[in-house]
């Protein structure tokens, strides 16, 4: 069991994936609500993203977690379903526009190891919530760890200045302990660094094969 207040690692820019696909679906009807429960980023929406913050919900359902966005109390970019939910093993939920600063870390929080101790972390980060009750009897599933790692890989491929992966607990140790000591941080880090999640979907692979045997002449020129 680790100490969640120490959970962090930095991404090596030389290992950045060229492409890391993500199976995600928007939570039903959340897009408008997410716009009202988030802020315009004060940094560039692509170049300004420096960190991914890992949270756990302390509740047992995705719906409970999503409700805080509808209630405009807080927000986060992705939600990783729990074992007893039908989406588990299938896809993660998108719950806020990546271009927006979601409300998942208090503005006063900072840590010297994370972008030199800069505050207003929501403006330069992405937030992931993993559904977990935060009690000893509720383990994180292997899929939840893989799916969370794949979100980080997806973001790593997309955001050129993304460097820090950090727990909420490290950023706000007085108030928060998520994702909690049962979260297997070392395993998670290994999976973030493992490219096996970047499998090319079958259809894309077939299209690439087809392209290889077809002459690549623009259609307007084939009279």
Query: What residues make contact with Zn ion under the rule CB under 5 A?
Result: 55, 168, 178
* Residue of 127, 141, 113, 210 lying closest to 176 (CA atoms): 127
Task: Pick between residue 97 and residue 106 the one whose CB is nearest to Zn ion.
Answer: 106
**Token pair for 38:** 């988030």
Nearest approach in angstroms of CB 134 to Zn ion is: 10
Q: Nearest distance from residue 58's CB to Zn ion, in Å? A: 8
Least Cβ distance, residue 55 to Zn ion (angstroms): 3
Is 100 or 104 the residue whose CB approaches Zn ion more closely? 104
> Do 148 and 79 meet the contact criterion of CB atoms below 8 Å apart?
no
Count the Cβ atoms, other than its own, within 10 Å of residue 73.
10
Q: Which CA distances in Å does 66 have to 151, 173, 189, 200?
A: 18, 24, 26, 30
Instruction: Give the DSSP letter string of 131-160.
Output: -B--STT-PPPHHHHHHHHHHHHHHHHH-T
Q: How far is the CB of 103 from Zn ion (least distance, A)?
A: 11
Nearer to Zn ion, 24 or 178 (CB): 178
Q: Which is nearer to Zn ion, 130 or 147 (CB)?
A: 130
């Amino acid at each position: 069991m680790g100490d969640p207040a120490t959970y962090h690692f930095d991404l090596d820019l030389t290992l950045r994936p060229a492409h890391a696909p993500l199976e995600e679906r928007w939570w039903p009807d959340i897009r408008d609500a997410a716009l009202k429960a988030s802020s315009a980023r004060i940094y560039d929406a692509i170049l300004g993203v420096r960190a991914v913050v890992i949270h756990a919900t302390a509740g047992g359902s995705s719906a409970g977690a999503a409700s805080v966005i509808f209630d405009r109390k807080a927000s986060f970019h992705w939600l990783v379903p729990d074992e007893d939910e039908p989406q588990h093993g299938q896809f993660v939920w998108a719950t806020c526009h990546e271009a927006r600063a979601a409300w998942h870390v208090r503005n006063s929080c900072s840590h010297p190891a994370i972008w030199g101790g800069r505050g207003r972390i929501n403006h330069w980060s992405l937030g992931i919530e993993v559904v977990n009750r935060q009690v000893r009897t509720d383990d994180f599933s292997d899929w939840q760890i893989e799916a969370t790692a794949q979100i980080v890989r997806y973001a790593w491929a997309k955001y050129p200045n993304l460097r820090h992966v950090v727990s909420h607990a490290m950023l706000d140790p007085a108030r928060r302990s998520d994702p909690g000591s049962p979260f297997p941080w070392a395993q998670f880090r290994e999976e973030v660094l493992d490219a096996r999640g970047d499998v090319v979907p079958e259809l894309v692979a077939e299209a690439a094969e087809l392209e290889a045997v077809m002459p690549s002449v623009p259609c307007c020129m084939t009279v």
